Amino acid sequence: MAGIKNKNVLVLVGPTCSGKSSVGFLLAKELNGEIISADSRQIYKYLDIGTAKPPVQERKKVTHHFIDELLPEHDFNAGEFSNQARERVDTIFESGKQPIVVGGSGLYIQAFIDGFFEGPSADKEVRDEIYKVLDKNGKEGLLEELRKVDPLSASRMLPSNLHRIIRALEVYKVTGTPISELQKINIPPNFQSVLVGLQWDRSKLYERINERVDGMLNSGLLNEVKSLVEKGYSTKITSLRTVGYQEVFQFFEGKISYDYMVELIKRNSRRYAKRQLTWFRRDERIKWFEMSTEVDFNRISKEIISYFGNISG
C-alpha cells in the first residue's frame, strides 16, 4: 500500500498486571487510535475474568481488535496473528486512525514486528497420532521424538512446553521440514514499530498480581470456569491450559484444595510475569517507562505520547 511503510505503529508491552490495558486505552483516546490486542487468550470468547479483558465500557469507546473473536476450541498461533494484525494495521491507517498494539504475548509481538512463518494449519489426523505418542510415552517421550527430527527446537523446550512440542512435531510431519528452519523465513512488515514498555519494581508488581487474583476470584472466576465446564470445555483444549483456568479445573476435579488453588494461581502468575520480563528485556528496541502507582497511568500515557511524537517526527 503506497506510503504506508512510512507509518509508525505504537507497540505497548509489559508483564501481566502492569497496566497495559489501562494505559493503552488512554493512548488510544489521545491519539485517535484503535487497539490491536496482542494477548494469546483474550481473543477467545467466554474467557473474560481469567484473561483480564479490558472493561466492556472501554471497548465501546475505543475499538479493540482480537478480543472475543474465536471460540475456545479454535487454535490460533503467532503466525496467524502476525498476518491478520498486519492486515488490520493497513485498515486502521486507511481510516485515518493510529494503530496501537497492546499485549504481553512476546511471541505474538515478535511475529507482528519481525515476521514469523506460521506454518501449515492444524492437521487433526497428525495431531491424533501425536497425542497417541503422548498417551503412551508421556511428555518426556514426546520431547524425545522432537529431538530426533528437530534437535534445535527441542533444545529450546522443556517437557512442560507441551503445546509447542506438539506444534513443532505437527509442522515437521506435515511439511517434512523442522519448524526451526521454517521460522527463519521472516517477512518484514510495511510499517515501522515504536516499542514502549511498562516497568514496575518486582515486589510491587508481584503485589499487584496477588491483588488481581483475589479480585478475579471475588468477581466470579469460579463461576466463569463452571460455565465453561457446562459448555463441555476442559483443559484438553489448548486455550484453557492457561494460568487462572487450569488451576480452577484442578480444584473442580478434586485434585487440589481451594486454598492451594489460590496459591497456585498467584505463584504461576508471578512466574509467567517473570518469563515475560525475561523475553522483553532481550529486546533493546523497547523504551521502558517506570511505574510506581496506578496514578502514574495518566502521566505515563503523556510521556509515551511525547516520546512517540518525537520518534514519528
Same domain, yes or no, for 202 and 292?
yes
Q: In what order do the strands lie in the sheet with 287-290?
A: 64-65, 33-37, 98-103, 8-13, 192-199, 287-290
12-21, 62-71, 120-129, 136-145, range with the lowest pLDDT:
120-129
153 vs 116, residue with greater confidence:
153
Residues in contact with 53: Cβ distance below 8 Å, sequence separation at least 6, in sequence order: 42, 47, 67, 68
Residues 191 and 252 in one domain: yes
Provide DSSP, 14-34.
--TTSSHHHHHHHHHHHHTEE
226 and 147 fall within a common domain: no
Task: State pLDDT tens for residues 76-100.
Answer: 888 789 889 999 999 999 999 999 9
Domain total in the chain: 2
Q: Are residues 172 and 147 in the same domain?
A: yes
pTM of the model: 0.80
Q: What is the pLDDT of residue 183?
A: 73
Q: From CA 209, how far away is CA 219, in angstroms rounded?
A: 15
Per-residue pLDDT for 5 more than 50? no
Residues in Cβ contact with 265 at an 8 Å cutoff, skipping those fewer than 6 apart: 213, 243, 244, 247, 248
Q: Are 26 and 108 in contact (CB under 8 A)?
A: no
Answer yes or no: do 175 and 61 share one domain: no
Last residue of a domain, one of 182, 198, 225: 182
Same domain, 173 and 304: no
Picking from 163, 182, 201, the residue at the C-terminal end of a domain is 182
Residues 95 and 214 in one domain: yes
One domain, residues 177 and 245 = no
Asked which of 182, 214, 232 is the last residue of a domain, the reply is 182
- In this structure, what CATH number is given to the domain that contains residue 190? 3.40.50.300
Cell numbers placing 110: 515478535
CATH number of the domain bearing residue 141: 1.10.20.140
Q: Which are the contacts of 166, defined by CB distance < 8 A and separation ≥ 6?
A: 127, 130, 131, 134, 142
Q: By residue range, what is the domain housing residue 169?
A: 124-182
